[in-house]
Structure 1
Amino acid sequence: MWRTVAMMMVGMLPLFGGLKNLSLPQALNMLDRKNLEIKVSRFEETMKKYDEIAVEGKNWGSATITLQALRSNDAGNVFGFKLQSREATFGDFGAQEFMNNFGACQGGNMQACADMYTKPPQNLNYPAPRNHFLTKLTYQVPIYTGGKLSAYKEITHKLYEMSRLDTRKLRNEKIFQVKKAFYDIALVERYVYNLRKIRHNMVRLKQTILAMKKEGYTKKTDVLEVEARLAKVDSMLNQAKLNESLAYQFLSFLLDTEVDSIRNVDLHVRAPRVSKRDIERLSLDIQKAKMGLEVARNAIQTEKANFLPTVGAFAEYGSADNTLWNDFAQKDFYTVGMQVQLNIFNGGSDKAKLEKARVRHMKVASQLELAKKGIALQVRKLQTAIKSMEFDERSARKQLRLAREVYRTYEAKYKEGLASITDLLIKQSMELEVLLKYLKIANERDTKIFQLEKILDRGGRP
């Protein structure tokens, strides 16, 4: 029994662990499926698409079915109910009362003669309560709106396309963050690897000092200095591991999945070549600004439509009776018609709105030109920074090789008694300083390249 339980627990362990040896392409693939911010943005896209469908549906008009159930003893209502139900008779106008008075008048009843023309009909003015059930189908459709509906459709379509660009821009931002997290982790791991090598050398140096101390060739302070330096390296190692843990936590947040380890990446990223045409063709901000210009142009059309007539048509079919759906076909009715409406004066409000739309169009056109020039400048600055950092990186790499060689030389001199422990530790500090400088430059250069890829909407492509 205990063996079965143990096997089940071992089988469940991977369920509680994170992803191991995750590659960058795998992470980018997961990003599209798992990142919560991208999911939210795609929901926004879908809502914009439904806005477009809703506006397009206006062209097809609307059909409504109405069912009314009424009861009234109001004279006008009751007579109207009967008339709509095609049940009105001359008796409803008091014809029977009129004929009764007419007969009595012929018999010499003078009061009846007077009542024929002066006494209101009792059945018409004081009817009994009546039920009324009205079922009606109404269809209304716009025929001409001055181009307003087509302009609104174009606007909502462009807003939907702009929301898709927003999603792509957000996705590029998340790709940038995933790549940066990968390269940050790789750089920290490389830094840790070098720190451990330095620590190993220091431990070996300490052992050498202790051996030399027994022979009387070194002082006690030499041991203390090395131990102090070891403690500092241990502190740097601990800080580096904490930074690595934070980078893994951020990567796990981006992928909405726990990540324990990643596959090594090439720390030297190739910078993409970019032309002016590429900037205008690939930049999402410029594409969005162009769509914004088209939206502003369509907004002018919607304001112009206020100066044009609107034409609409409608058709109505129904039936009414004092009993629900009784003799529907025998008591049915229809109405068809159309309406033309033209606004001839509203105090200049439409004119002001039209001029505002034109000014907005000019503003958006200027913003488009500004976006083109601003993004081109941003790309040139990034390219300049990348080239500068490439020179700095090559220089730092050479300095690092020199610093390591100098440290090995001083280590040999110390063992021969030609250099002090202080000189040796100074050279080691220089090696650490140059290492940090080199890794920092490499990290900054990679970050600039990822920023350039983000601007150019490379979509995760290398």
Structure 2
Amino acid sequence: MKIFFLALITFSICFAQEGLSLESAIAKVKANNKEIVIAKFDEQIRALEHQAALGQNYGSVDLSQAALRSNDALNIFGYKLQSRQATFADFGFKQFNGSNYMLAPEDLNNPKDRNHFQTKIEYTLPIYTGGKLEHYGKITQALQAMSTLEREQLTATKIYELKKSFFAISLLNNYLYNLHIIATNTTKLEKTTEAMMQEGYVKKVDLLEIQSKQADVERLINQAEANKSLLYYYISFLVDEPIASIAGNYEEAELALDEDERILAQNLDIKKAEQGVEISKMNIALQQSTFLPQVGAFANYGSSDEKLMNDFSKNDAYTVGLQVKWNIFNGGTDKNNLEKARVENLKASQQLILAKNSVALNVKQIQTQIKSHEYEIASLKKEVELAHLIYENYAGRYAEKIVSINDVMMKQSEELTKVLKLKEVQNARNEKIFELQKLASKEVK
């Protein structure tokens, strides 16, 4: 006997370990859920965009290699000058005899074909952009932070859906437990009726009525099992792996008494709206920078020759320079873009106020609904207990031929209705608690 109980305990432990706990499921959702994985990629893209924006402050270095061939007189003359190989003969002086000034020099106008290879490295650096690059950097950093908030909000939604599914499965298990008890009681009643029918105390219609009720209970059991299977499929989708069972009992969610101010401070919709206001302010500063001058510097160094890399240092040359560019008129485009940025800032500020008011209202509504559900649950538990006792009483009185089978079935239907209503209200309360947790951004990080 001891060996039997030891084996039973071992089996129970192994079975429990096969089930997925809610804590493990939340961790799997954060790590494996495909939508969250995609959101993380979006977050990474925003981070790279920010780094790209910062990189513009350091300027750029370009290396170029040109390989050309031409018989164009202007090009040939320029090539020779760049290669430091021009001579007086290139101007046609060897044909000039000092008297004929109208002579067209053949060497200058119809030079021979020539190759030209030019190697150049150039560095350009923005010195002053009116703050444009600085504001670009701040905006891309803010957009990166916005993508993080969006990923956290998506995570909160998936955890909310996961919790709903876990608690719904537990409530379905409890509901199925009650249905099986009712099915067992109905089976007992059916046997009692069969015995009474053999004695001639009841008619066959009584037995058929009980069998009809049993079929109805079995239908509800099959329906509940199908809903449970669907929930397991959904949990498997959320955690991105097959899940056939859960570990633990999750019938009634615990309500944490968070202060409304803390919920509003942690709410991701409000944080996103706040970030939107900051981005709109940065955009105003960015548009204002278009009215300021742009200053840039450049330096290049290279060498040109008729042959590739023939004598680099002999024909090398450098150029350095500074450029100031200031747009003074573009048809009012900059002015309108600035005004648009200011209007967008006003819009974002109103959206922030709306977000705060909406979340505060939503919190109060959810809290009120939770309290209402709790009162209803307390009442329904007593009603279920009473309905079960009444059913048992009527079943006993039926065996004594005091009441009809119809009366017994009515009492059983009332008990079943109360049980179903209790589970529905419990499930509704759990969902509202999880909604409140989602508003407070719990278990997101």
TM-score (norm 2): 0.94
Residue 172 of structure 1 pairs with residue 156 of structure 2: yes
**1:28, 1:460 within 8 Å by CA — same for their partners in 2?**
no
2:364 matched to which residue of 1? 380
Counterparts of 1:19-38 in structure 2, within 5 Å, are 20-38=18-36
Deviation per residue, 1:272-315 (Å, 9 max, x gap): 22323213320001111111101000100111111111111111
Q: Give the whole-Å Cα distance in 2 for the aligned partners of 1:201 and 1:264.
A: 28
**1:20, 1:259 within 8 Å by CA — same for their partners in 2?**
no
Residue 162 of structure 1 pairs with residue 146 of structure 2: yes
Structure with bigger gyration radius: 1
Q: Give the whole-Å Cα distance in 1 for the aligned partners of 2:228 and 2:192.
A: 33
Q: In 2 relative to 1, CA 460–225 (structure 1 residues): closer, same or farther, beyond 3 Å?
A: farther
1:54 matched to which residue of 2? 52
2:376 matched to which residue of 1? 392
Q: CA deviation at 1:212?
A: 2.1
Q: Give the whole-Å Cα distance in 1 for the aligned partners of 2:417 and 2:122.
A: 83
**1:315, 1:334 within 8 Å by CA — same for their partners in 2?**
yes
Q: Give the whole-Å Cα distance in 1 for the aligned partners of 2:84 and 2:57.
A: 36
User: Which of these residues, 247, 250, 256, is aligned with residue 266 of structure 1?
Assistant: 250
Q: What letter matches 2:233 in structure 1?
A: Q
2:87 matched to which residue of 1? 89
**2:152, 2:444 within 8 Å by CA — same for their partners in 1?**
no
1:284 matched to which residue of 2? 268
Deviation per residue, 1:50-106 (Å, 9 max, x gap): 1111111110111111111000000000010000011111111122223xx35xxxx
Question: 5+ residue gaps in structure 1?
Answer: 1-18, 103-112
**Secondary structure in structure 2 of the residue aligned to 1:118:** coil
Q: What stretches of structure 1 move > 6 A for 4+ residues in a row?
A: none
Q: What letter matches 1:126 in structure 2?
A: N
1:8 matched to which residue of 2? none
Q: CA deviation at 1:384?
A: 0.6
**2:114, 2:306 within 8 Å by CA — same for their partners in 1?**
yes
After alignment, is 341-350 or 199-208 more displaced? Answer: 341-350
Counterparts of 1:94-109 in structure 2, within 5 Å, are 94-98=92-96, 101=97
Q: Give the whole-Å Cα distance in 1 for the aligned partners of 2:351 and 2:379.
A: 42
After alignment, is 376-385 or 349-358 more displaced? Answer: 349-358
Q: CA deviation at 1:177?
A: 1.0
Note the aligned Cα RMSD (angstroms): 1.3
1:448 matched to which residue of 2? 432
Q: CA deviation at 1:216?
A: 2.5
Question: 5+ residue gaps in structure 2?
Answer: 1-16
User: Which of these residues, 124, 130, 140, is aligned with residue 108 of structure 2?
Assistant: 124
**Secondary structure in structure 2 of the residue aligned to 1:444:** helix
Deviation per residue, 1:342-400 (Å, 9 max, x gap): 11122222222111111111111111011011111011111110011010111111110
Percent identity of equivalent pairs:
45
After alignment, is 439-448 or 39-48 more displaced? Answer: 39-48
Residue 203 of structure 1 pairs with residue 201 of structure 2: no
2:173 matched to which residue of 1? 189
Q: Give the whole-Å Cα distance in 1 for the aligned partners of 2:374 and 2:197.
A: 46
Residue 45 of structure 1 pairs with residue 43 of structure 2: yes
After alignment, is 218-227 or 272-281 more displaced? Answer: 272-281
Q: Give the whole-Å Cα distance in 2 for the aligned partners of 1:401 and 1:227.
A: 24
**Secondary structure in structure 1 of the residue aligned to 2:321:** strand
**1:28, 1:178 within 8 Å by CA — same for their partners in 2?**
yes
Q: Give the whole-Å Cα distance in 1 for the aligned partners of 2:140 and 2:264.
A: 24
Deviation per residue, 1:141-190 (Å, 9 max, x gap): 11111111111111111111101111111111111111111111111111
